[in-house]
């Protein structure tokens, strides 16, 4: 699936919920499905700067696509990073760099997060795009 198709799927899923408490619960459930990160990737160099919680993000290239693994010590943050990985995992670096991440605004995520969590969300997206930029440079 393309990044746009995945975002549309997420928007459709979130439209089923009546209120934000249900959406928060759904985000937490998504976080529970995040594959367990290899403990060797839980090191300081993989921590995302700017997150209130601890968030580890690791990426490697497989073929021409980026593969991400992540974890967090906070259940809501783990769900947020799981949503982002759903969009960006197994995508080409250039597609990640070109992506307009509109689903975040469409589902109202950023405005329903505390300012520190919203900053963390921006930091996660920035780090994913930095990985994409680094791998795109290697591919060029």
- Which residues are identified as catalytic? 51
- Cβ(134)–Cβ(67) below 8 Å: no
Q: What share of the chain is helix, strand, coil (3-state, %, to 5)?
A: 60, 15, 30
CB atoms near residue 117 (< 10 Å) = 19
């Amino acid at each position: 699936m393309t990044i746009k198709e995945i975002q549309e799927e997420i928007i459709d899923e979130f439209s089923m919920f009546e209120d934000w408490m249900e959406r928060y619960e759904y985000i937490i459930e998504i976080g529970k499905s995040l594959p367990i990160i290899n403990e060797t990737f839980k090191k300081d160099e993989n921590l995302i700067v700017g997150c209130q919680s601890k968030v580890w993000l690791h990426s490697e290239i497989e073929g021409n696509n980026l593969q991400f693994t992540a974890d967090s010590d906070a259940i809501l943050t783990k769900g947020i990073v799981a949503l982002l990985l759903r969009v960006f995992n197994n995508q080409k670096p250039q597609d990640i760099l070109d992506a307009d991440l509109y689903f975040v605004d469409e589902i109202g995520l950023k405005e329903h997060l505390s300012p520190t969590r919203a900053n963390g969300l921006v930091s996660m997206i920035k780090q994913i795009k930095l990985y994409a930029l680094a791998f795109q440079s290697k591919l060029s």
